[in-house]
Amino acid sequence: MTAADGSSPNFDPLDKRGSFLDFMLNMDGPEHVRLRRLALQSLGHNTARQMEAEVERSVDETLTRSLRQGGMEIIRDLAHFVPSHMMCRIMGVPAADRELFNEWTAARTNAFFAKFLPPEVQERTRRAGHEMADYFEALVKERRRNMGEDLMSALIRAEEQGDKLRDGELVVQAIGIIIAGYETTIGLIGNGLRSFMDHPDQLELLRREPGLIANAVEECLRYDTPILFNWRVLREAWTVGGKTIPNDSVIWPMLGAANRDPARFKDPDRFDIRREDPDHVAFGGGVHFCLGNQLARMEAKHALGQFARRTAGLEIRQGKLEWSHSFFRVIASLPITFH
């Protein structure tokens, strides 16, 4: 993602502590490969498979409680609860500290375009970065004393075995990974649930044909993707639409628009879990393809599938929707009641 001179012109991080500048997402070449390889030890297919029973149990407990109470707040009780629980376990964050990240992760995503934000939002973004850096610096010290089976411990072990991370690099990777794992999966599950509630015919179809769940998750990602755009830095001049964009230009590919491209998808604005080819770019592509995609898909499969099955025969009424101040397309709150 860096420019030819090694800089990262895509955003102003506001500060060096908790910055994304050294996060693997902002790197290319050997450095990116090295960091991605380390992270995949705890975020790949094996982790998704190992955690599936726990995800299924967590979703079941949440829905059992909510159905008994006659309603739920779908973000707090399901869309946020499941990925935050899993990411904290993966990272080695104690369960008692999980709530600390609710505000931090949403606020820190705004570092992606901080220079365009008002001063009060910049300050909130900066403060979140500092507090997360403080937290993970302390966690690194604790893990050095008491190793576990979490990602933080794996990164420290790699450091000790010769794949040494630069000063502060370990903390930056931890911040970037937990933000990506929290916010994007909250968006996938929350936006997906809303799409089903807004299209009760599709919700009923999933109830009748639960085998459609994998395709349904892909359609949710296409139809209302959590990340509407990302950034790339051109390594050579590029001509598009009769215009030439010079080398080292920062471009912002619109993933949300690509996922609704009428030249690619038939009737793109229709939510259709039977869509024959829902292939999307919600996880990006190439060497930067989302390394946690298997975990996110698995969590969404259980959250959406169980929601459809457990609410069969009930009328679902939506309350007031509020959007998060996250950089990503993430709902902050959406209460529902069952009748």
Q: What is the DSSP string of 45-79?
A: HHHHHHHHHHHHHHHHHHHHHHHHHTEEEHIIIII
Identify which has the larger pLDDT, 28 or 201: 201
> 113-132 as b/e, with b when 16 or more CB fall inside 10 Å?
ebeebeeeebebbbbbbbbb
Q: State the pLDDT at residue 329.
A: 93
Task: Measure Cα distances from 212 to 178, 206, 216 in Å.
Answer: 30, 6, 6
Contacts 24+ apart (CB under 8 A), 319-322: 321/194
How far apart CA 304 and CA 105 sit, in angstroms, is: 23
Q: What percent of the chain has pLDDT over 70?
A: 84
pLDDT digits (tens, 9 = 90+) for 48-92: 677 888 899 999 999 999 999 999 999 999 999 998 888 888 888
CA 292: distance to chain centroid? 8
- The answer on pLDDT for 40 being more than 80 is no
Is residue 62 within 8 Å of residue 77, measured between CB atoms? Answer: yes
pLDDT digits (tens, 9 = 90+) for 268-290: 999 999 999 888 999 887 777 77
How far apart CA 298 and CA 309 sit, in angstroms, is: 16
* DSSP conformational letter for 321: -
Task: Measure Cα distances from 99 to 103, 106, 108, 171, 323 in Å.
Answer: 8, 12, 15, 19, 19
Q: Which helix (H) or strand (E) holds 129?
A: helix 119-145
pLDDT digits (tens, 9 = 90+) for 311-336: 999 999 999 999 988 878 999 999 99
Q: CB under 8 Å to 157, separation ≥6 — which residues? A: 147
What is the rounded average pLDDT of the residues 96-121?
A: 80
Q: Which amino acid is at 6?
A: G
Q: Which of 20-34, 231-245, 279-293 has the lowest mean pLDDT?
A: 20-34
Task: Identify any residues that bridge with 73 across adjacent strands, giving them in sequence order.
Answer: 335
Q: Which helix (H) or strand (E) holds 250?
A: strand 250-251
Q: Which of 28-42, 62-76, 99-113, 190-204 has the lowest mean pLDDT?
A: 28-42
Q: State the pLDDT at residue 28.
A: 72
Q: State the pLDDT at residue 250.
A: 84
How far apart CA 254 and CA 257 sit, in angstroms, is: 5
Is residue 319 within 8 Å of residue 337, measured between CB atoms? Answer: yes
Place 130 in a pLDDT band, splitting at 50, 70 and 90.
confident
Q: What percent of the chain has pLDDT over 90?
A: 43
Q: State the pLDDT at residue 115.
A: 72
How far apart CA 143 and CA 136 sit, in angstroms, is: 10
